[in-house]
Chains A and B, each alone.
Chain A
Amino acid sequence: MTRMAIAVILAVTLSVAAWSAPGADGRWLSRGVSGLTVTPAIIQKELGRFLWLPDTRVGQINVANRGTTPIVVDFQIAGIAHNADGSIDVLPCPPEVAAGLILSPAGPMTVMPDRAAAVRLELDRAYIDMPGRSGLCAALIISSAPMPARLASQGLEVGSTIVLPVMVKLSWRDRARLAVVEACVESSGAENSRPALALKVANEGGAYARVDGRVSITAADGTRAAEAEFGPAVALPGCMRAFRMELEGPELPPGRYLVDARIRADGKAAGGAKFAVEVGPKITVSSLGRP
């Protein structure tokens, strides 16, 4: 029995030594894997209310440790914006957003390998009660690092981060305000190439909106030259989304055209705009003047 125990101890010691011994060239790459999974990776929630009592529950996220070592998961709330193609920009957090989004638990938590932790998200009632607020948008930055006991301060530590967009809308205050700020017909001039319509839509409201719509182009004589649909895509408040549509049919001949863009926010009509566009023999000039 004693011999067996000694053999086991020897085997474990040797395997640990083999695991942690530096390589012949003096470099040591741990065999540990850092893995982090977050579901859902995007939170979109439309909060309702019963009588005068608003719902404050935004949702729950599950953070799973798929690595081989215990990790400490930390949360940070930040501001959020996006560029025209939808890539997220993490911004400094406005104080009202930091106070308005409540995480439970809020502090760092330890997650063992192959285990998951749940975090509930709620909106602060005071934030909802403020008049004029129609939603909240934030970036929840979820960072993982090996447990402090393992932090040997040796060389390069590799950590993982997941940025989770949190978008909340107060349905009873939501007034989607979308505006087409630019329309441009792009003509490459090459043979067999289709003209493309580039459209930029700005969200001037206070809550996120899922934008889609339809664009029709008519010639000066009233004949329909082309038609296309765009979206859907999410637009955050104060941000702009760019859409690019290849138009069916041949190249647009030079002349003046009228672009009629009908926009929908979350499937409901949200206005539109008409733009005059002048297509030249080589280049395209767009006009933002509304007819």
Chain B
Amino acid sequence: MITIPFSPRHGRNRSAIVRVALVLAFAVLTAWGMHANCQEECSLVVQGRIAPAVSIYTSPDLIEWNDLYPGTNDLENAVTVTMLSNVDYEATISCSTPYMKGPGLTELLTNPLEWKCSGGDYRVISVAPATIRLGGPSASGGDSELISFRQVVEYSDPPLDNPAKAYVMTVRFAIEPRL
């Protein structure tokens, strides 16, 4: 039996077609693979953790009480305390010493300073913190408390010789998260 081969020209054409087809197949596969890989690599996972945060604002930060007279002296709604927190908290009031103190070592007023929250009763201020509010995560404006002060002055409490000096006290408002 005699086999008649394809013409050399015809064979070259077929091999060329096969090569081109292979190259195209590889190109398609590579492009598809790259596309698939790209889809995986481009995905983005966003994670977030909110840290516990607390803020405390007091306004004003200084009170000059220049009209103290013998008798009961009230300073209604003297301080606004604003608390912001994203966790449960306790806000407290305390002081350096319960008695307003003059420049001398022994110059103390006879009666301690008293304080109250709005709607509450006056209590003697103390070095030990007293709770003014128990709260939780705050609204955008925060939680506010209006603090009033009362100072009873006796006739035995003398005015200071130096008018530039005053009886002083530091009132401290604190916020602490609850566990």
Contact = CB atoms under 8 A, between A and B. Distances in A.
Interface residues of A, number: 48
Given A33-B60, A38-B53, A41-B87, A157 B169 contact: yes
B117 interface: no
Interface in A170-193: none
Contacts of B61: 30, 32-34, 67, 69, 146, 157-159
A96 interface: no
A104 interface: no
B172 A29 contact: no
A163 B178 CA distance: 10
Nearest to B61: A34
A35 to B, nearest CB: 4
Give the size category of B's interface with A.
Answer: 35 or more
Nearest to A241: B179
Contact of B64 (A38, A41, A155): A155
Contact of A158 (B79, B88, B103, B175): B79
Interface stretch (A80-88, A119-127, A242-250): A80-88
Contacts of B100: 156
Contact of A36 (B51, B55, B67, B113): B55
A13 interface: no
A157 B58 contact: no
B59 interface: yes
Contact of B53 (A39, A67, A153): A39
B138 to A, nearest CB: 12
Given A40-B53, A153-B166, A158-B79, A34 B178 contact: no
A93 to B, nearest CB: 16
B178 A87 contact: yes
Interface in B155-178: 165-178
Interface string B57-93: 1111111111100000001001100001101101000
Contact of B75 (A27, A88, A152, A160): A27
Contact of B85 (A27, A41, A156): A41
Interface string A32-69: 11111111111000000000000000000000001101
A26 interface: yes
Contacts of A153: 103, 165-166, 168
Nearest to B134: A87
A234 B177 CA distance: 12
Residue in A66, A143, A153 with the greatest tally of chain B CB atoms within 10 Å: A153
A37 to B, nearest CB: 4
B104 interface: no
B59 A34 contact: yes
B64 A158 contact: no
Contacts of B85: 41
Contacts of A32: 59-62
A35 B179 contact: no
A79 B169 CA distance: 26
A206 interface: no
Contact of A38 (B54, B75, B166, B173): B54
Contacts of A85: 178
Nearest to B85: A41
Interface in B124-179: 149, 165-179
B66 A88 contact: no
Contacts of A164: 176-177
Interface of B: 51-67, 75, 78-79, 84-85, 87-88, 90, 100, 103, 113, 149, 165-179
The 3 closest A-B pairs by CB, nearest first: A26-B67, A163-B176, A161-B174
Given A38-B54, A156-B171, 15 more contacts: A32-B60, A35-B56, A35-B58, A36-B56, A37-B53, A41-B177, A42-B52, A66-B55, A87-B178, A88-B179, A143-B172, A153-B168, A155-B63, A157-B170, A157-B171
